[in-house]
Amino acid sequence: MLRTIGLRRLLEVATTLLGVSLLAFFLIRVAPGDPVLLLIGERGSDPEQYREMAAHLGLEQPLIAQYLQFVANALQGNLGVSVVSQQSVIEELLARWPATIELGVSALLIACVLGIPAGVIAAVYRNSVADFLIMTVSIFGYSIPVFWWGLVLILCFSIGLDITPVAGRIDILYDIAPITGFMLVDTLAPQVVQEYGFSAFGSALAHLALPALTMATIPLAVFARTTRSSMLEVLSEDYVRTARAKGLSEFWVIWRHAFRNALIPIITVGGVLFVTTVITGAILTETIFAWPGVGRYIVNSVYARDYPVIQASILLIGIFVVLVNGLIECVYRAINPAVGRDSAN
């Protein structure tokens, strides 16, 4: 039975990725713009030079042939070479991916730690001043323009109060060779600690604070609101009343009985938020804070019509979404074994 489910899932994943690859490939080519002309700019090129460049980039082939070539190469782990830098796309992306993940995970962590308790408090003290305050702030947080918010935080904490650095991943004078690509991890490498002590780690942490806070603002608001509505629903259930009637303490009722059952929608939202925060949130936040992640890289590649980079990025994002969804499903099963049984039947 398990094997059938596994195979079915695998087939689903393969179909999804095939769909993603088709979209990734054709969508960007439907959009106007020519990578060769964008490279050349105002300079112009004679027809022979133009043809040579297009041929080198494989653009003179029929679209179907280009697509098949792309899929054949992708299956062998070769995602092509960037039109702009002539470097392997996979290497370019892998060098930037950890920065984005590090920022995304930190942002989500902040959002969870602050947003979920805020939502629980708002639900438990429904219609109180605390509830009103939390919901007002969360609406504000949700509708805030990220670009403006980032600059306000810099002005406030970096320029005004002088407690955080302005931008970047670490003070530029620390020369840290990337090992994992995660700055918080790399700064704890023995040779780094030997050279700089823990000050490099401190600098990385300080640099992470503002971008993570900027990126956390929207998910934080969503967490607070989802937790509140989910908790309100659960708190009115009969079993919560029963638990109270049994004389359990209010703390125990809320966290052990109500919260655990309210978690499923929160986790779903969390999963979706993780994907959207990491991918879409990254684009603006990375630009403001000079954060060298994939978001900024993809945007620049779209501007330059760097086809290989764009299609590889979309494919990798597709894989990432599939992985996150798989992970969420595992968490569901752990929390509520009935989920697993349902899908098995």
Partner 1 sequence: MNKVFALLTFYSAVLVSMPAFSASNLVYCSEGSPESFNPQITLSGTARNATAPTLYNRLLDFEPGTTKLVPSLAKRWEISPDNRSYTFELRDDVSFHSTAYFTPSRKMNADDVLFSFNRQLDKEHPYHMVGGGTYQYFQGMGMDKLITKVEKLGDHRVRIELSQPEAPFLSNLAMPFMSILSSEYSEQLQRENRKADIDMLPVGTGPFKFRRYQKGTSIRYKANEAYWQGQPAIGNLVFSITPDPSVRYMKLKKGECDLVVYPSPSDIAQIKSQSGMVLAEEDGLNIGYLAMNTEKPPFDNVQVRRAIAHALNKQAYINAVYLGNAELAINPYPPSMWSHNDEVAQYEYNPEKARKLLQKAGYSDGFKVTLWTLPVSRPYNPNGRKMGEMMQQDLAKIGVEVELVSYDWGTYLDKVKRGEHDMVQLGWAGDNGDPDNFLYTLFSCDSVQRGSNNSRYCQPEFESLIKRARRESDLATREQLYREALRVFSEDVPVIPIAHSKVFRALSSRVEGYVMDPFDVDNFFPLSVSSNRQQ
Contact status: 185 vs partner 1 (CB under 8 A): no
Nearer Cβ to partner 1, position 274 or 291? Answer: 291
Mask for 38-77, x = binds partner 1 (CB under 8 A)? xxxxxxxxxx-x--xx--x---------------------
Contact of 22 with 311, CB cutoff 8 Å: no
User: Please, what is the minimum distance in Å from the beta carbon of residue 172 to partner 1?
Assistant: 5
Q: What residues contact residue 176 under an 8 Å CB cut-off, 6+ apart? A: 170, 183, 186, 187, 192, 200
User: What's the CA gap between 252 and 242, in Å, rounded?
Assistant: 13
Kindly state the smallest distance separating residue 262's Cβ from partner 1, in Å.
Answer: 28
Binding of partner 1 by 283 (CB under 8 A): no
Amino acid at 222: V
Q: Rule CB under 8 A: is residue 110 a binding residue for partner 1?
A: no
For partner 1, which residue of 13, 17, 37, 135 counts as binding (CB under 8 A)?
Answer: 37
Residue 86: CB minimum distance to partner 1, A: 5
Collapsing DSSP to helix, strand or coil, 81 comes out as strand
Q: What angle do CA 50, 55, 58 make, to 5 degrees?
A: 130
Beta carbons of 332 and 264 less than 8 angstroms apart = yes
Cα(74)–Cα(199) distance, integer angstroms: 41
CB 190, CB 252: distance < 8 Å: no
310 lines the binding site for partner 1 (CB under 8 A): no
Shortest separation between residue 41's beta carbon and partner 1, angstroms: 7
Decide whether 147 or 239 has the Cβ nearer to partner 1: 147
How far apart (Å, rounded) are the C-alpha atoms in residues 217 and 214? 6
Under the binding rule (CB under 8 A), the answer on residue 155 touching partner 1 is: yes
* Contact call for residue 156 and partner 1 (CB under 8 A): no
Burial of 95 per CB tally in 10 Å (0-12, 13-18, 19+): middle
Count of residues engaged in binding partner 1, rule: CB under 8 A: 66
What is the nearest approach in angstroms of partner 1 to the Cβ of residue 58? 12
Report d(CA 282, CA 296) in Å as an integer: 7
- Which residues fall within 8 angstroms of residue 263, CB to CB, at 6 or more apart? 230, 335
Phi, psi for residue 88 in degrees, rounded to 5: -60, 130
Q: Is 171 in the site for partner 1 (CB under 8 A)?
A: yes
Q: Does 296 bind partner 1 (CB under 8 A)?
A: yes
Which position among 64, 129, 172, 245 is part of the footprint of partner 1 (CB under 8 A)? 172
Residues that bind partner 1 (CB under 8 A): 31-35, 37-47, 49, 52-53, 56, 82, 84-87, 92, 95-96, 99, 151, 154-155, 158-159, 162, 165-169, 171-173, 175, 177-178, 196-199, 201-203, 205-206, 287-290, 292-293, 296-297, 300, 303, 305
